[in-house]
Amino acid sequence: MTLSKAQSYAAPAHARPYGTIAVIGAGAWGTALACVARRAGRSVTLWGRDPDIVAAIRDRQENPRYLAGYDLVDGIEATTDLAAALAQAEAVMIVTPSKTLRKICRKMKPHLPERIPLALCAKGIEAQTGLLLAEVAADELPGHPIGAISGPTFATETVLDHPTAATVAFDFSYEDRLNPQDSPAARFAISLSSPHFRPYVSDDLVGVEIGGAVKNVIAIACGMMSGAGFAENTRAALITRGMDEMKTLAEVLGGRRETVTGLSGAGDLTLTCSSTTSRNMSLGTQLGQGLARADCFDGKPVVVEGEVNAVSVIDLAARIGVSLPICEAVHAVLHRGAPLKKTFRDLWARPIEAEPKGLDFSLNHPFGETV
Last residue of a domain, one of 170, 203, 236: 203
12 within domain boundaries: no
14 within domain boundaries: no
Sign of the CA dihedral running 106, 108, 111, 113 = negative
pLDDT, tens digit, for every residue of 238-279? 999 999 999 999 999 999 999 999 999 999 999 999 999 999
Domain count for the chain, please give it. 2
- How much is the pLDDT for 86? 98
pLDDT, tens digit, for every residue of 80-131? 999 999 999 999 999 999 999 999 999 999 999 999 999 999 999 998 899 9
- 87 and 235, same domain (yes or no): no
Q: Are 100 and 25 in contact (CB under 8 A)?
A: no
Last residue of a domain, one of 166, 187, 203: 203
Neighbouring residues of 10: CB distance < 8 A, sequence distance ≥ 6: none
- 282 and 179, same domain (yes or no): no
- 323 and 187, same domain (yes or no): no
Check which CATH number belongs to the domain holding 56 and give it.
3.40.50.720
81 phi and psi, to 5 degrees?
-95, 105
pLDDT, tens digit, for every residue of 341-350? 999 999 999 9
369 within domain boundaries: no
227 within domain boundaries: yes
- 188 and 283, same domain (yes or no): no
Residue 357 pLDDT > 80, yes or no? no
Q: Are 244 and 303 in contact (CB under 8 A)?
A: no
Nearest by Cα to 280 from 320, 247, 313, 321? 313
- How much is the pLDDT for 11? 62
Per residue, the 3-state secondary structure of 307-365, as one string, reads: HHHHHHHHHHHHHHCCCCHHHHHHHHHHHCCCCHHHHHHHHHCCCEECCCCCCCCEECC
Residue 194 pLDDT > 90, yes or no? yes
- 198 and 226, same domain (yes or no): no
- 219 and 304, same domain (yes or no): yes
- How much is the pLDDT for 2? 42
Check which CATH number belongs to the domain holding 258 and give it.
1.10.1040.10
- 36 and 169, same domain (yes or no): yes
53 within domain boundaries: yes
370 within domain boundaries: no
Last residue of a domain, one of 203, 234, 262: 203
pLDDT, tens digit, for every residue of 310-340? 999 999 999 999 999 999 999 999 999 999 9
Pairing of β 352-353 and β 197-202: unpaired
pLDDT, tens digit, for every residue of 38-75? 999 999 999 999 999 999 999 999 999 999 999 999 99
- 112 and 188, same domain (yes or no): yes
- 157 and 299, same domain (yes or no): no
- How much is the pLDDT for 364? 87
The upper half-sphere exposure of residue 352, i.e. CA atoms within 13 Å in the direction of its Cβ, equals: 5
- 244 and 172, same domain (yes or no): no
Q: Which residues are catalytic?
A: 215
Q: Are 267 and 208 in contact (CB under 8 A)?
A: no
- 306 and 218, same domain (yes or no): yes
Task: Please give the residue range of the domain that contains residue 305.
Answer: 211-363
Pairing of β 77-79 and β 43-47: parallel
- How much is the pLDDT for 363? 87
What's the whole-number average pLDDT of the chain?
94
- 130 and 257, same domain (yes or no): no
Whole-number Å distance between alpha carbons of 246 and 270 = 13
347 within domain boundaries: yes
1 within domain boundaries: no
Residue 1 pLDDT > 60, yes or no? no
pTM of the model: 0.92
